[in-house]
Structure 1
Amino acid sequence: MKILLAACNAKYIHSNLAVYNLRAYAEDYRKNIVLKEYTINQQKDEILRDIYLEKPDVICFSCYIWNISFVKEIAEDLKKILPDSVFWAGGPEVSFDAEDFLKKNPGFFGVMVGEGEETFRELCRFYVDKKGSLEEIPGIAFGFGEKIRHNGWREIMDLSNVPFAYEDMEDFRNKIVYYESSRGCPFSCSYCLSSVDKKLRFRNLDLVKKELQFFIDRKVPQVKFVDRTFNCKHSHAMEIWKYILEHDNGITNFHFEISADLLKEEELSLMEKMRPGLIQLEIGVQSTNPETIKAIRRTMDFKKLSEIVDRIHCFENIHQHLDLIAGLPYENYESFQNSFNQVYALKPEQLQLGFLKVLKGSLMKEMAEEYGIIHKEKEPYEVLSTKWLSYGEILKLKTVESMVEVYYNSGQFQNILNYMESFFEDAFSLYEELGKFYEEKGYHSISHSRMRRYEILLEFLEQRQEISREKAVDAMLLDLYLRENLKSRPSFAPSQKPYEKMVWEYRREKKIPKTAHIEVFQNGDIVLFDYETRNPLTNNAETKTINEEVKEYGYV
């Protein structure tokens, strides 16, 4: 008897913690279990071939919003070539409408609903040991004659009873490793499925520390905690943050999703001591409109959140990623613009503009009609319009999102953006107008190189007479050389020929390595870029203004 656990991830760098947890919990049946990870970018024929050659008796697919259509297509063809195999689905994308899913996808025999560890182990017992009956297994829905039988949801389990899922980290080379120290969420945000499970549970801290040490000893590049609100329990968060600080290996980065306004002084004082890059924080703001926050049942003190984000920013050692969601109740275009400007002013390392996804099983799905929410019928069930936001305005926000992603979140245009911002009504208007320029010129539908993005930006700025081309070019060159020692000069860069002799003699006297770059800017600054020493948060080269040193040698 062979049971195949199949995961179809969004990208190669992702891994699927769920299927590894299922396998670990069913350790008694390990010899019968095969685990396979694919991506939705792979050729379907390649996956069909791989699964077919395994000849599994039972195939269990892990289903999420990003892979459900892909899984359905794969399973439909697999059933034709493996007609005797039994197909099961599990995961959030099938748990909340299991019966409907089975009716529409007759190739699947059953669905594991909710938490799957205990359910999967009981299914292994049923198929491998031929013991028990499906009617006795809680947490499944399955074909029962011409009907579908739903055994109801299983009682949630003690998270500490789930064995550690990781063994040989070679399997995760060049991949993000996911880890879970708690399940459930104390909050009731109407757009989120985590709010459905109100029974928040924490993994035993002794286990957590032992497992974190496993990652630290193996110098895993990044461990991403999947806890929905990591710092909702102060003592739990403090113990983990203390441990990773005290056992820092100088390499591993830990990612946490937190509520910034819940952070206490003790936690902030600890964070200030951390190595740059030891942790990074994802902070969901979603909106700064009080009416919106109330409607989505979210708890947030934006004033306190802002103060804490500012304070962490001053530490200069922690990457902060802030989120906004467009399409929420009571948030029109102007309100979202205000939310954007308030969050942008906090200068996070990344600002993600997401669009509301009306998920099956969420309160937002139930409230969609009342809020006039129209959304896509197929996953990702993304908002198309609301009472407050038209589809045309959604399209405008999509353009803003694209510009923020390219110019702000890439971290490659920081100095030119800082220079530009004062010439626009607000930050939102900058990206709005830049996006409009892209569309007018037909640039939005073309793939561009990094250098071409700078050229387009300069073309955009040249429309505004009040902007100094010289200052704009200096800012762009600073951004470019901070990231890399360019092999060829940008088309818009002024010649360095007048300074070649001066720079050559200075380099010779000071024994400046060839890997470094010296740029003479139009404003008179002479800057040395050291690519051997980089900022661990931005990856920018270390810089030094050397005007005075050059003068000492009589070269200016």
Structure 2
Amino acid sequence: MKVIVSTLNAKFIHTSLALRYLKAFCEKDFDVDIVEYTIKDPAMNIVSDLYQKAPDVLGFSCYIWNIEETIHIIRMIKKIMPNLLIVLGGPEVSYDTEYWMNRIPEVDFIVMGEGEETLHQLLQEISTTQKYHFVYGLAYRKGEEVVIMPGRPKLKLDDIPSPHRFIEDIPNLPNRVVYFETSRGCPFSCQFCLSSIEVGVRYFDMERTKRDILYLIDSGAKLIKFVDRTFNIKRDYAMEMFEFLIANHRGTVFQFEITADIMRPEVLDYLAENAPPGIFRFEIGVQSTNDATNELVQRRQNFSKLTRTVTKVKQSGKIDQHLDLIAGLPEEDYQSFRKTFNDVFELGPEELQLGFLKMLRGTGMRNDAHKYGYVYMDHAPYEILGNDILPFTDLIRIKRVEDVLEKYWNAHRMDHTVSYLIANEFDSAFDFFQEFGDYWEERGWQKIGHQLEDLFTRLRDFLVHRQTKQMPIIEGLMKLDYFLGHKYRPRKIWWDFTLDKQEQSAYLRLLAERPELADGGFSQLRISEKDLHKHVMLEVLPFDLQGYLQNGIMQMSSPQLLIVYFPPDAQQPASFYTMPLQQAAVM
């Protein structure tokens, strides 16, 4: 009996941890192959590939991001392979299971909840007596009837073989995200989250975990993302893992979901002192800073302690932080969400993810949707369309905030420019992204693509339209950001150079002859005039750039020459220097 377990990942770089657990648990008794696709792959290509592999049993791992595409695949392949047994599993079909069995008659079985032991027992029954009523955690068909068996007890995690030891995975490890879990379950009860349904937290053996991580590092993994819902719930466990990873990282990057308001000060001190820069990334779910909202969704959160943690981590300069918000939670109207956004943006996260409430099957929020007048999508991802205090009109405005936030902050294309605008030209961060988002929509730019320079010209158009006063300063910062967004000396710019070619050549000659005129260690680069022409770009700024970057005070000054150096090795970032133009009199 040939068994294929498959899924449609959101992106090519993603890998499915669930499929690897299933194969690891079942392969001692069955021929199980993992086959992964993406939601962007053409359905005909997927069906053709599966057909040629000729499975007897085909299982799909289902999530809100792939369920509709998966259904399309199932219906196609069942037409051409009517005797193929189809098994579904995963969080999207583990709740309202009878609904899924009725909606997709092509499906023969659904594995509910943790699937390793259930799938193994199901395969045993398929290949022998077919007495499916012995399989706990299973939904199956008995004639026209759908039978849903009781759930099964939780597995002892150490009874599950490692999902990280498949030889066929090794060639792809350097180019994919490796998902890893040290525990299952969540100690919290947030009513919008599926993790709140499982009570308690179970841990894998520490030594096994360390062995698996070392194996992945030795095999070339570059990014390991821990999927534990709260990595730092046990201080001693988290500390031991942090110490181990710091000692053994060898350049691998590790990403964790942490609960910031319970992070102990001694852990923060240890990380600030010992964590190598860039090795750790923290994902922190804030969701809302509205106390009434958090209470309604049973979310315990101390924002002052969260602020302490985020601030201390940021001050260390060692760890990038990704903070999450959810728009549309109960009792959070437009103005309340504006406050939440500004509260969190003020913490200065490297990335701020703005999501929208989804009414996931099985959650308390979906069960209580009527209490708050929620309207939401019938099919996945079940995103809300409004409620009693946040109408659709406000939701689509916040969608515009999300769009420009992604383009202009999370992508880090204009950090200097956006920071200046928020601090000096707009009432708040939210107001900048909202006004710009509204303007973007009015111009119809959401309907057309864009190149990097388009992002700069569109921001300039918006600022000119609103008659922003300090355009020379803003355009100077935009030019700096544009240069720094390139690995190589850009061939295309979106403005007219202040200096003509003759003037630029004269300044490059001066820099070759007297490099000490430039600040910030430019002379230590020891660049010849020939290489300056290849790897340096010049522009004129009307303000003291270094003074602004050091103390945050913008002072108009005699014009300065901005010098941006692009190293021949593109692995190194561009660097910039300045010198006063009067020092650089070359004409």
| Higher mean C-alpha displacement, 352-361 vs 162-171 | 162-171
TM, length-normalised to structure 1: 0.94
Q: Residue 106 of structure 2 aligns with which residue?
A: 107
The 5-angstrom pairing of residues 513-524 of structure 1 reads 513=531, 516-523=535-542, 524=559
| Structure 2 letter corresponding to 1:520 | E
| Higher mean C-alpha displacement, 356-365 vs 479-488 | 479-488
Q: Is the 8 A contact 2:539 2:563 kept in 1?
A: no
Offset of residue 319 of structure 1: 0.9
| Structure 2 letter corresponding to 1:120 | L
| Higher mean C-alpha displacement, 464-473 vs 340-349 | 464-473
Offset of residue 182 of structure 1: 0.7
Q: Where in structure 1 are there 5+ consecutive unaligned residues?
A: none
| Aligned residue among 509, 512, 536 for 1:504 | 509
Q: Is the 8 A contact 1:473 1:493 kept in 2?
A: no
Distance 1:412 1:58 in 2: 47
Distance 2:474 2:121 in 1: 65
| Aligned residue among 467, 480, 483 for 1:481 | 483
Secondary structure of the 2:34 match is: strand
Q: Residue 551 of structure 2 aligns with which residue?
A: none
| Higher mean C-alpha displacement, 67-76 vs 415-424 | 415-424
Q: Residue 448 of structure 1 aligns with which residue?
A: 450
| Structure 1 letter corresponding to 2:61 | S
Distance 1:534 1:419 in 2: 31
TM, length-normalised to structure 2: 0.90
| Structure 2 letter corresponding to 1:473 | E
Residue by residue, what CA displacement relative to the aligned partner does 1:394-419 show, whole Å, maximum 9, x if unpaired?
Answer: 01000111011111111011111122
| Higher mean C-alpha displacement, 367-376 vs 416-425 | 416-425
| Cα pair distance change 1:318/1:111, threshold 3 Å | same
Q: Residue 278 of structure 1 aligns with which residue?
A: 279
Secondary structure of the 2:323 match is: strand
Residue by residue, what CA displacement relative to the aligned partner does 1:65-99 show, whole Å, maximum 9, x if unpaired?
Answer: 01111111111111111111111100111111111
Offset of residue 493 of structure 1: 4.5
Distance 2:329 2:367 in 1: 14
Distance 1:465 1:50 in 2: 57
Q: Residue 338 of structure 1 aligns with which residue?
A: 339
Offset of residue 329 of structure 1: 0.2
* 1:75 and 2:67 matched: no
Offset of residue 508 of structure 1: 6.3
Q: Is the 8 A contact 1:323 1:351 kept in 2?
A: yes
Aligned residues: 549
| Aligned residue among 476, 491, 496 for 2:495 | 491
| Structure 1 letter corresponding to 2:76 | D
Q: Residue 137 of structure 1 aligns with which residue?
A: 135
Secondary structure of the 1:138 match is: coil
Residue by residue, what CA displacement relative to the aligned partner does 1:208-246 show, whole Å, maximum 9, x if unpaired?
Answer: 111111122233110011111111111111111110101
The 5-angstrom pairing of residues 257-336 of structure 1 reads 257-272=257-272, 273-336=274-337
Q: Residue 151 of structure 1 aligns with which residue?
A: 149
| Cα pair distance change 1:180/1:46, threshold 3 Å | same
Q: Residue 183 of structure 1 aligns with which residue?
A: 184
Offset of residue 543 of structure 1: 3.2
Q: Is the 8 A contact 2:536 2:564 kept in 1?
A: yes
Q: Residue 348 of structure 2 aligns with which residue?
A: 347
Offset of residue 475 of structure 1: 0.4
Secondary structure of the 2:255 match is: strand
Q: Is the 8 A contact 1:533 1:541 kept in 2?
A: no
| Structure 1 letter corresponding to 2:391 | S
Distance 1:465 1:5 in 2: 58
Distance 2:496 2:401 in 1: 26
Q: Is the 8 A contact 1:503 1:518 kept in 2?
A: no
Q: Is the 8 A contact 2:191 2:297 kept in 1?
A: yes
| Higher mean C-alpha displacement, 15-24 vs 514-523 | 514-523
| Structure 2 letter corresponding to 1:280 | R
Q: Residue 437 of structure 2 aligns with which residue?
A: 435
Secondary structure of the 1:444 match is: helix
* 1:86 and 2:85 matched: yes
| Structure 1 letter corresponding to 2:122 | L
Secondary structure of the 2:37 match is: strand
| Cα pair distance change 1:532/1:555, threshold 3 Å | same
Residue by residue, what CA displacement relative to the aligned partner does 1:322-348 show, whole Å, maximum 9, x if unpaired?
Answer: 011001000000000000011111110
* 1:460 and 2:462 matched: yes
| Cα pair distance change 1:290/1:492, threshold 3 Å | farther
| Structure 2 letter corresponding to 1:517 | V
Distance 1:215 1:478 in 2: 39
Offset of residue 494 of structure 1: 2.8
| Cα pair distance change 1:132/1:44, threshold 3 Å | closer
Q: Is the 8 A contact 1:109 1:143 kept in 2?
A: yes
Offset of residue 540 of structure 1: 5.0
Offset of residue 301 of structure 1: 0.7
Offset of residue 547 of structure 1: 5.1
The 5-angstrom pairing of residues 207-226 of structure 1 reads 207-226=208-227
Identity %: 33
Residue by residue, what CA displacement relative to the aligned partner does 1:512-545 show, whole Å, maximum 9, x if unpaired?
Answer: 5456424333223334434449999xx8533344
Distance 1:206 1:482 in 2: 43
Q: Residue 50 of structure 1 aligns with which residue?
A: 49
| Cα pair distance change 1:186/1:461, threshold 3 Å | same
Secondary structure of the 1:275 match is: coil
Q: Where in structure 2 are there 5+ consecutive unaligned residues?
A: 515-525, 543-558
| Structure 2 letter corresponding to 1:403 | V
Offset of residue 125 of structure 1: 2.1
The 5-angstrom pairing of residues 171-250 of structure 1 reads 171-249=172-250
Residue by residue, what CA displacement relative to the aligned partner does 1:435-455 show, whole Å, maximum 9, x if unpaired?
Answer: 111122222221111101100
* 1:13 and 2:48 matched: no
| Higher mean C-alpha displacement, 438-447 vs 391-400 | 438-447
Distance 1:190 1:136 in 2: 33
Secondary structure of the 2:261 match is: helix
| Higher mean C-alpha displacement, 87-96 vs 165-174 | 165-174
| Cα pair distance change 1:532/1:152, threshold 3 Å | farther
Distance 1:302 1:152 in 2: 40
Q: Residue 549 of structure 2 aligns with which residue?
A: none
Secondary structure of the 2:284 match is: strand
| Structure 2 letter corresponding to 1:123 | L
Secondary structure of the 1:256 match is: strand
| Structure 1 letter corresponding to 2:150 | G
Distance 1:295 1:496 in 2: 63
| Cα pair distance change 1:96/1:504, threshold 3 Å | same
Distance 2:494 2:178 in 1: 38
Residue by residue, what CA displacement relative to the aligned partner does 1:284-308 show, whole Å, maximum 9, x if unpaired?
Answer: 0000011001111111111111121
| Cα pair distance change 1:194/1:131, threshold 3 Å | same
Residue by residue, what CA displacement relative to the aligned partner does 1:124-166 show, whole Å, maximum 9, x if unpaired?
Answer: 22234x2572111111010012211111111111222222112
Q: Is the 8 A contact 1:29 1:124 kept in 2?
A: no
